[in-house]
């Protein structure tokens, strides 16, 4: 028996290694890993990924587990086994009696008796768990545990591959755990039943909205204690505590689905769920830049650099810092050009000290030499005042250097500079920035006041533009605007 098990485990490891060394997508590699384990141990197997922010586990690849058990509900990393925090294997000999089982009743209905959870780790990070579900009481031996730890290590390599394949892999991440979290929620790791679900997941990823695919099945009708009708919503959005069901059929054709939703709301009044009709879905696709109603609001944006919540959090931090520094004075806030509008409006509302506001406008002229001209000067007298310049983005610093020289000639008591975005890679002039929101890479960004040919200013987030070679070649004005010094 021992020799037979050893051979089975050797074959399983060999198959997993072979799968990793192919061109398969990570999700398909994980399928082969869990199937190899299931065959070797004659049990159900699942790889779950760990979301530390929401303290939950999500099934990513499974084999041999009933659909109803997989969709029994969200798995809490606190209430379920606990191996991701212990960072060592956790064994449940009797699932009906052990307090570490989050869903003991559902496990019993699925015929599951014993469970083992082995953490999937990479260095100091816990990426998830490899779990085996046995239908009879199973004493997991040291050999079993070592085998599963090996397969968990291979699963971790596969999950981490998804991170390395991201477009920004060349940049050093400030927080590896956050990068891994982004990697694990990407739609490329999930097998969707319909293309519209993949499109919806892409939209959620684009706007940095956390989601779980088919997280739970709700029993709607029972006969003699057996469930004969169930309903599984397509998505769950944890931060909104909202289930979302998609339908790409026309509204008049979704009568049966609406009946199920009414029944679900009657049986589970605490559940928040919404049905997204075809017209609603088309509008979402249009916002994302695809589909029959596609407009230009977000078309041409390659990725989100900073989400709306991230921007608002950083603006609040800057406002607190500025309020503390000017608590004994009444500064004059000076906005430059048009891009500052979103930033300055949000910033001034959170500054707690009295202040005055003024604006300046400039124009740039090309040719043999670069010329800056002030087309609108200040209305307020800043002699003896503390001046705070508000900029949306600083690139070369040439424009700011000119403005500082111009304003210093008016005799202010002090001048400080606050910019939401600093792009030091393009710096030419040697200037000092007193308040900086974000230091950004050498990419052309739009949104939150920043534009490309007067477009994208009203986006609530900041994205990296991917406007295409043809757009750049055909529009000389766009080219000049992209290169404008600031």
Q: Rounded to an integer, what distance in angstroms lies between the CA atom of residue 206 and that of residue 378?
A: 40
CB-CB contact of 277 with 251 (8 Å): yes
| CA-closest candidate to residue 79, choices 50, 52, 59, 99 | 99
Output the DSSP codes for 204-239: HHHTT---EES-B-EEEEEETTEEEEEE--SEEEGG
User: What does the DSSP assignment read for 10-32?
Assistant: HHHHHHHHHHHTSS--HHHHHHH
Structure tokens at 132: 């085996």
CB 418 within 8 A of CB 390: yes
Q: Which residue has tokens 């290694």?
A: 17
Cα 310 to Cα 274: distance, rounded to the nearest angstrom: 27
Q: How many CB atoms lie within 10 A of CB 460?
A: 13
Element (H, E) at 465: strand 462-465
For residues 388 and 321, is the Cβ–Cβ distance under 8 A?
no
Which residue matches tokens 């070369």? 396
Contacts of 232 by beta carbon, 8 Å cutoff, 6+ apart: 71, 214, 216, 217, 218
- Taking residue 324's Cβ as centre, other Cβ atoms within 10 Å add up to 10
DSSP characters over 139-192: ---HHHHHHHHHHHHHHHHHHHHHHHTSTTTTSPPS-HHHHHHHHHHSGGGS--
69, burial (CB in 10 Å: exposed 0-12, middle 13-18, buried 19+): buried
C-alpha dist (Å) from residue 308 to 40, 316, 466: 48, 12, 20
241 is catalytic: no
Name the catalytic one among 395, 413, 451, 475: 395
Q: Of 42, 77, 83, whose CA–CA distance to 63 is shortest? A: 42
Q: How far apart are CA 281 and CA 276, in angstroms?
A: 6
Query: Mapping DSSP to helix (H, G, I), strand (E, B) and coil, where does residue 443 land?
Result: coil
Active site residues per annotation = 395
């Amino acid at each position: 028996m021992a020799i037979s098990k050893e051979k089975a485990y050797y074959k399983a490891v060999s198959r997993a290694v072979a799968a990793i060394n192919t061109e398969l997508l990570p999700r398909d590699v994980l399928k082969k890993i869990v199937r190899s384990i299931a065959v070797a141990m004659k049990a159900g197997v699942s790889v779950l990924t760990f979301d530390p922010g929401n303290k939950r586990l999500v099934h990513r690849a499974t084999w041999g587990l009933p659909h109803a058990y997989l969709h029994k509900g969200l798995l809490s990393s606190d209430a379920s086994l606990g191996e991701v925090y212990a960072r060592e294997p956790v064994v449940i000999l009797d699932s009906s009696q052990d307090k570490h089982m989050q869903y003991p009743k559902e496990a019993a209905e699925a015929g599951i008796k014993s469970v083992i959870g082995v953490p999937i780790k990479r260095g100091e990070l816990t990426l998830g768990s490899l779990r085996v579900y046995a239908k009879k009481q199973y004493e997991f031996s040291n050999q079993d545990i070592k085998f599963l730890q090996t397969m968990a290590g291979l699963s971790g390599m596969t999950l981490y591959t998804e991170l390395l394949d991201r477009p920004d892999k060349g940049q050093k991440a400030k927080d590896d755990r956050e990068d891994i979290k982004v990697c694990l929620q990407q739609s490329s790791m999930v097998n969707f039943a319909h293309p519209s679900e993949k499109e919806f997941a892409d939209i959620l990823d684009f706007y940095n909205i956390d989601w779980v695919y088919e997280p739970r099945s709700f029993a709607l009708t029972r006969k003699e204690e057996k469930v004969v009708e169930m309903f599984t919503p397509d998505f769950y959005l944890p931060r909104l505590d909202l289930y979302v069901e998609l339908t790409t059929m026309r509204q008049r054709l979704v009568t049966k689905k609406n009946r199920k939703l009414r029944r679900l709301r009657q049986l589970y009044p605490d559940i928040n769920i919404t049905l997204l009709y075809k017209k609603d879905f088309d509008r979402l696709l249009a916002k994302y830049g695809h589909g029959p109603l596609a407009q230009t609001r977000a078309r041409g944006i390659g990725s989100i650099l900073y989400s709306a919540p991230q921007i608002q959090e950083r603006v609040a931090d800057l406002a607190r810092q500025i309020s503390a520094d000017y608590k004994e004075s009444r500064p004059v806030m000076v906005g430059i050009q048009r891009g500052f509008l979103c930033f300055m409006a949000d910033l001034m509302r959170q500054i707690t000290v009295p202040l005055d506001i003024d604006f300046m406008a400039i124009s740039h002229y090309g040719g043999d030499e670069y010329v800056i001209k002030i087309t609108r000067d200040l209305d307020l007298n800043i002699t003896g005042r503390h001046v705070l310049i508000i900029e949306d983005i600083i690139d070369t610093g040439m424009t700011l250097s000119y403005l500082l020289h111009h304003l210093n000639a008016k005799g202010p008591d002090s001048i400080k500079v606050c910019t939401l975005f600093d792009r030091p890679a393009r710096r030419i002039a040697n200037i000092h920035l007193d308040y900086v929101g974000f230091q950004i890479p050498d990419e052309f960004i739009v949104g939150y006041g920043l534009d490309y040919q007067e477009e994208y200013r009203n986006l609530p987030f900041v994205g990296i533009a991917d406007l295409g070679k043809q757009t750049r070649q055909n529009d000389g004005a766009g080219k000049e605007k992209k290169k404008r010094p600031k």
